[in-house]
Amino acid sequence: MSEPVHISKLLGKVMQKIEKKVIDNTEAIDLDWKRIVGEESAKYSKVLGKNKRKILVGVKDSLYLFELNSRKMEILNKIKRMKPESNINDIKFLIFTKDEKDGKDGKEQ
Protein backbone atom coordinates (compact mmCIF):
# COMPACT_ATOMS: atom_id res chain seq x y z
CA MET A 1 0.00 0.00 0.00
CA SER A 2 1.33 3.45 -0.85
CA GLU A 3 1.94 6.30 1.54
CA PRO A 4 -0.77 8.97 1.89
CA VAL A 5 -0.07 12.11 -0.11
CA HIS A 6 -1.19 15.57 0.96
CA ILE A 7 -3.93 16.92 -1.29
CA SER A 8 -2.01 20.14 -2.03
CA LYS A 9 0.71 18.09 -3.76
CA LEU A 10 -1.86 16.22 -5.84
CA LEU A 11 -3.76 19.35 -6.80
CA GLY A 12 -0.60 21.11 -7.91
CA LYS A 13 0.23 18.28 -10.30
CA VAL A 14 -3.33 18.06 -11.60
CA MET A 15 -3.55 21.82 -12.18
CA GLN A 16 -0.26 21.83 -14.11
CA LYS A 17 -1.61 19.14 -16.43
CA ILE A 18 -4.87 21.04 -16.92
CA GLU A 19 -3.04 24.30 -17.65
CA LYS A 20 -0.92 22.61 -20.32
CA LYS A 21 -4.05 21.32 -22.03
CA VAL A 22 -5.93 24.63 -21.80
CA ILE A 23 -3.18 27.00 -22.89
CA ASP A 24 -2.83 26.38 -26.61
CA ASN A 25 -2.13 28.88 -29.36
CA THR A 26 -2.69 31.83 -27.00
CA GLU A 27 -0.11 34.10 -28.61
CA ALA A 28 -1.63 33.90 -32.08
CA ILE A 29 -5.11 34.79 -30.79
CA ASP A 30 -3.82 37.42 -28.37
CA LEU A 31 -2.06 39.36 -31.14
CA ASP A 32 -5.39 40.20 -32.77
CA TRP A 33 -7.41 40.68 -29.56
CA LYS A 34 -7.13 44.49 -29.65
CA ARG A 35 -8.40 44.56 -33.25
CA ILE A 36 -11.19 42.12 -32.45
CA VAL A 37 -12.68 43.81 -29.36
CA GLY A 38 -11.31 47.34 -29.70
CA GLU A 39 -8.61 49.14 -27.79
CA GLU A 40 -10.76 50.10 -24.77
CA SER A 41 -12.09 46.58 -24.14
CA ALA A 42 -8.65 45.08 -24.76
CA LYS A 43 -7.22 47.19 -21.91
CA TYR A 44 -9.47 45.35 -19.45
CA SER A 45 -9.43 41.87 -20.95
CA LYS A 46 -6.87 39.29 -21.98
CA VAL A 47 -6.94 35.98 -23.84
CA LEU A 48 -5.88 33.31 -21.37
CA GLY A 49 -5.84 30.33 -23.67
CA LYS A 50 -7.65 27.98 -25.97
CA ASN A 51 -9.33 24.69 -25.15
CA LYS A 52 -10.24 22.81 -28.32
CA ARG A 53 -12.65 25.24 -30.04
CA LYS A 54 -13.22 27.59 -27.09
CA ILE A 55 -11.08 30.54 -26.02
CA LEU A 56 -10.84 31.64 -22.41
CA VAL A 57 -10.76 35.38 -21.76
CA GLY A 58 -10.04 37.07 -18.44
CA VAL A 59 -11.81 40.37 -17.75
CA LYS A 60 -11.25 43.04 -15.09
CA ASP A 61 -14.71 43.11 -13.52
CA SER A 62 -18.40 42.31 -13.97
CA LEU A 63 -18.97 45.42 -16.10
CA TYR A 64 -16.58 44.15 -18.78
CA LEU A 65 -17.87 40.62 -18.31
CA PHE A 66 -21.37 41.87 -19.16
CA GLU A 67 -20.19 44.03 -22.06
CA LEU A 68 -18.11 41.32 -23.71
CA ASN A 69 -20.77 38.67 -23.12
CA SER A 70 -23.31 40.91 -24.84
CA ARG A 71 -20.91 41.21 -27.81
CA LYS A 72 -20.04 37.50 -27.84
CA MET A 73 -21.54 36.71 -31.28
CA GLU A 74 -19.95 39.82 -32.81
CA ILE A 75 -16.57 38.83 -31.37
CA LEU A 76 -16.91 35.23 -32.58
CA ASN A 77 -17.79 36.44 -36.08
CA LYS A 78 -14.71 38.69 -36.14
CA ILE A 79 -12.49 35.83 -35.00
CA LYS A 80 -13.91 33.58 -37.72
CA ARG A 81 -13.28 36.24 -40.36
CA MET A 82 -9.78 37.11 -39.16
CA LYS A 83 -8.61 33.59 -38.24
CA PRO A 84 -10.79 31.00 -39.99
CA GLU A 85 -8.14 28.34 -39.36
CA SER A 86 -8.66 28.67 -35.59
CA ASN A 87 -12.11 26.97 -35.69
CA ILE A 88 -13.17 28.89 -32.57
CA ASN A 89 -16.88 28.48 -31.85
CA ASP A 90 -17.21 29.69 -28.24
CA ILE A 91 -15.77 32.13 -25.73
CA LYS A 92 -15.73 31.74 -21.95
CA PHE A 93 -15.23 34.96 -19.98
CA LEU A 94 -13.68 34.85 -16.48
CA ILE A 95 -13.39 37.64 -13.93
CA PHE A 96 -9.85 38.26 -12.71
CA THR A 97 -9.25 38.96 -9.06
CA LYS A 98 -6.17 40.91 -7.94
CA ASP A 99 -4.07 37.72 -7.74
CA GLU A 100 -4.51 36.81 -11.41
CA LYS A 101 -1.96 39.41 -12.44
CA ASP A 102 0.54 37.10 -10.75
CA GLY A 103 -0.60 34.13 -12.82
CA LYS A 104 -3.27 32.55 -10.63
CA ASP A 105 -6.64 31.48 -11.99
CA GLY A 106 -9.70 33.74 -12.18
CA LYS A 107 -13.14 32.78 -11.03
CA GLU A 108 -15.57 31.65 -13.72
CA GLN A 109 -18.75 33.52 -14.43
Determine the topology of domain 7-108 in CATH: GMP Synthetase; Chain A, domain 3 (3.30.300)
> In terms of Cα–Cα distance, which of 95, 26, 23 is closest to 59?
95
CA distance 52 to 38: 25
pLDDT at 1: 61
Domain boundaries, the chain: 7-108
Q: From first to last of the 109 residues of the chain, give the pLDDT tens digit.
A: 678 877 777 767 766 666 555 555 555 566 688 999 999 999 999 988 888 889 899 999 999 999 999 999 999 999 988 888 878 899 999 997 655 444 444 444 4
pLDDT at 31: 64
pLDDT at 52: 82
